[in-house]
Amino acid sequence: MKILVTGAKGFVGKNLCWALKNIQAGKDKTHPELTVEAVFEYDLDSTPEELDAWCKDCDFVFNLAGVNRPKEQSEFMEGNFGFASTLLDTLKKYGNTCPVMLSSSQQASLTGRFGNSEYGRSKKAGEDLFLDYSKETGAKVLVYRFPNLFGKWCRPNYNSAVATFCNAFANDLPYTVNDPSVELELLYIDDLVDEMIAGLQGKEHHCEFDGLDVLPQADGKYCYCPITHHVTLGEIVELLKSFAEQPKTLMIPEIPANSFAKKLYSTYLSYLPYEKTAFDLKMNVDERGSFTELVHTLNAGQVSINISKPGITKGQHWHNTKFEQFIVVKGHGLIQQRNLNDPDGKVLEWEVSGDKIEAVHMLPGYTHNIINLSDTEDLVTVMYCNEIFNPNKPDTFFDPVK
């Protein structure tokens, strides 16, 4: 399949083209049934001759080209309607009735706050042009009205509040929120790309619109992405504040699968400058080695890294409720545990090595230690604990294993 993407260097275009090229190269294992032979990337620097050749050759068109921020209002119609006419005329020139996807906007509804939108009128004219083209030629047309989009590679200070806020927090820039209660409907770029790939396979979602409301309908003349998020500006800013504090707090935010928070965190990270991409961790160092907390979580404790010098024993304590996992990733060591209430004082032992990585539970009510058995090599242990250390209630009591 040969695919033409117009507006290939825009926010959506870049994400879609990389997804298609991953499929073409066999790197994307989620679409084994889909074969992409070529991706034609059309943008402002492309020539009319290239558009002509690609329209003749392509098997599917994603028309993402358009004008968002023109110098003159008249450029809306020229950029959004005018190019669409050129594209469809070129396809008709070659009798190419391959499916065509059009990226439109909620503003094309011309309702509510979009009732007097020049941009919306240009988008609505483009929609009508594509729908008429479908009736005339029999070509399949997929018309999507996008809500607000966000994700990596989105241009800040342009037409995305999320991109602007992410860039501001990542780069310590000023920002303004006039009304934190304003709610946005947001569509994440990966969800959009997944929907466009589905459309490429004839699995798009159809609908009708009642103003801005999506009415799913199998034979609807419009298309939509079924996964969007309704979030207020205030909620976005509060999440970004917590993300920006993570290098200080080590707190990984709650990011459930497919949640807005997970998608926003990934978006925020994509705006980090070089100097903030790496950050120092506090190493607690003494003659025995070091102990460094790596990450904290809101509800599942923390992960740390422990380094023991040759011959050193660490631990020799027990917990009531706190439990840990020790995972040796480098070196050769011995983990010992003893049940405090075992009258025989039996010691349980695990010889551990970075050559055979395994996790050993430190059991509540068992005093435990970890010994570096090497005379020359440090012992490096990843330690998980089910709670963040609380100096006011450490739940840690000294008692040698032997």
Encoded tokens for 312: 């050193």
Encoded tokens for 379: 């012992």
Indicate which CATH number applies to the domain containing 293. Answer: 2.60.120.10
**For 334, phi and psi rounded to 5 degrees?**
-135, 130
Q: pLDDT tens digit string along 308-362?
A: 999 999 999 999 999 999 999 999 999 999 999 999 999 999 999 999 999 999 9
Q: Is the dihedral of CA 268, 271, 273, 274 positive or negative?
A: positive
CA-based nearest residue to 233, from 178, 310, 153, 313: 178
Q: How far apart are CA 259 and CA 257, in angstroms?
A: 5
Indicate which CATH number applies to the domain containing 120. Answer: 3.40.50.720
Whether residue 228 lies inside any domain: the answer is no
Q: pLDDT tens digit string along 185-220?
A: 999 999 999 999 999 999 999 999 998 899 999 999
According to the 3-state scheme, what is the secondary structure of the chain? CEEEEECCCCHHHHHHHHHHHHHHCCCCCCCCCCCCCEEEEECCCCCHHHHHHHHHHCCEEEECCCCCCCCCCHHHHHHHHHHHHHHHHHHHHCCCCCCEEEEEEHHHHCCHHHCCCHHHHHHHHHHHHHHHHHHHHCCCEEEEEECEEECCCCCCCCCCHHHHHHHHHHCCCCCCCCCCCCEEEEEEHHHHHHHHHHHHCCCCCEEEEECCEEEECCCCCEECCCCCEEEEHHHHHHHHHHHHCHHHHCEECCCCCCCHHHHHHHHHHCCCCHHHHCCCCCEEEECCEEEEEEEEECCCCEEEEEEECCCCEEEEEECCCCCEEEEEEECEEEEEEEECCCCCCCEEEEEEECCECCEEEECCCEEEEEEECCCCCCEEEEEEECCCCCCCCCCCEECCCC
Please check the confidence at residue 388 and state whether its pLDDT lies above 50.
Answer: yes
Q: pLDDT tens digit string along 254-289?
A: 999 999 999 999 999 999 999 999 999 999 999 999
Whether residue 25 lies inside any domain: the answer is yes
Whether residue 28 lies inside any domain: the answer is yes
Whether residue 196 lies inside any domain: the answer is no
Residue of 119, 224, 265, 271 with catalytic role: 119
Report the pLDDT value the prediction gives residue 120, as an integer from 0 to 100: 82
Q: How far apart are CA 51 and CA 4, in angstroms?
A: 9
Of 102-116, 174-188, 375-389, the poorest mean pLDDT is in: 102-116
Last residue of one domain, picked from the residues 146, 171, 186: 146
Whether residue 237 lies inside any domain: the answer is no
Angle at 91 (CA atoms; ends 14, 154), nearest 5 degrees: 15
Instruction: Please indicate whether residue 67 or residue 303 has the higher confidence score (pLDDT).
Output: 303
Whether residue 154 lies inside any domain: the answer is no
pLDDT above 70 covers a percentage of the chain that reads 96
According to the 3-state scheme, what is the secondary structure of 310-324? CCCEEEEEECCCCCE
According to DSSP, the β-strands at 206-210 and 251-252 are unpaired
Report the pLDDT value the prediction gives residue 114, as an integer from 0 to 100: 75
Last residue of one domain, picked from the residues 117, 146, 175: 146
Report the pLDDT value the prediction gives residue 81, as an integer from 0 to 100: 65
The distance of Cα 377 from the centroid of its chain, to the nearest Å, equals 39
* Residue 119 is among the residues annotated as catalytic for this protein: yes
Sheet holding 60-63, edge to edge: 38-42, 2-6, 60-63, 100-105, 141-146, 222-223, 206-210, 213-216
By the 10 Å C-beta count (0-12 exposed, 13-18 middle, 19+ buried), 42 is classed as buried
Q: How far apart are CA 23 and CA 26, in angstroms?
A: 5
Whether residue 224 lies inside any domain: the answer is no
Cα dist from 142 to 131, 161, 234, 269, 393, whole Å = 9, 27, 34, 32, 60
**Domain count along the chain:** 2
**Domain interval for residue 64:** 2-146
Report the pLDDT value the prediction gives residue 70, as an integer from 0 to 100: 45
Report the pLDDT value the prediction gives residue 262, as an integer from 0 to 100: 98
Whether residue 233 lies inside any domain: the answer is no
Last residue of one domain, picked from the residues 127, 146, 165: 146
Report the pLDDT value the prediction gives residue 75, as an integer from 0 to 100: 47
